[in-house]
Structure 1
């Protein structure tokens, strides 16, 4: 990588676009609480892979786009994603050395904290939400983490992202 540039960085933007589409893909009402927090997972993955490319500023913009796409309170996802990415950046060296199970647990904590922030904002707005509506996405996201990492690592190798 020369001068901090990442080859084929279009793929990173495309992955975020796909995550946004999947975040609003219609699901039956009973299944909506099982939807993983894909944008948050991708942001964590790309920060671990290319910390020079995605920072808190980009996380804020991605969160604002998610707020717009999902029709939620402006800044709700943005601030939750900023806090999540900031903590990821603080612990990046430790997180990179963790094994799969340890990473899975850490990602669970990061996404749980992200969901807890969203739940807190919803409660401040007077919206009622069940407890399972914010811990279930964290569990599903954490279980999805190893699969997502493996798939994106393979795609990055094939598309030569970062070369």
Structure 2
């Protein structure tokens, strides 16, 4: 166990983690609530924090990933007026899937992380649709959900790429 660090494999100081944990996440949250939520097409209204969640799951220790998911899931649900627990549950599910698949897959591959963002967005949409809409009018919801998953997969590399730079990683 390393003293003063998050884990043995992480040699970065706490300050860089806090920048990602609060600074970059807050910036993306504000962009998501101010700009993205006002876009005219439903498929473009994506959750930018899902991409950060995938990076947090891979780069931070498990306890810090869970803390990040709970904090930003709670903030997203409360301040956006959404059903409480929806974002937090989707973020925790993505962390769980990332940890589950990390032994079998190359988790540092950009393709893997982009697909995990799309899967997390799709699962979040399915859960929301089942709770809010029910079985009626599911066709429109599914089309929007697939569009959001594809659009979030397209923009996730732009959201994911600054995190290694902030953490000072040169090799990934």
Report if TM-score (shorter chain) is over 0.5.
Answer: yes
Matched residue, 2:148: 137
Partners of 1:51 and 1:89 within 8 A in 2: no
Q: Which has the higher contact order (CA 8 A, sep 6+)?
A: 1
Matched residue, 1:11: 19
1:17-58 per-position Cα deviation (integer Å, ceiling 9, x unaligned): 112212211454623430232111111111111234533344
Matched residue, 2:43: 33
Cα distance in 2 between the residues matched to 1:3 and 1:100: 26
In the superposition, the TM-score normalised over structure 2's length comes to 0.73
Cα distance in 2 between the residues matched to 1:91 and 1:106: 10
Aligned pair in 2 of structure 1 residues 7, 90: CA closer, same or farther (>3 Å)? same
Of 54, 68, 76 in structure 2, the residue corresponding to residue 44 of structure 1 is 54
Partners of 1:47 and 1:53 within 8 A in 2: no
RMSD: 3.0
Matched residue, 2:76: 66
Matched residue, 1:24: 33
Cα distance in 2 between the residues matched to 1:56 and 1:10: 15
Matched residue, 2:86: 76
Of 126, 137, 154 in structure 1, the residue corresponding to residue 165 of structure 2 is 154
Matched residue, 1:119: 129
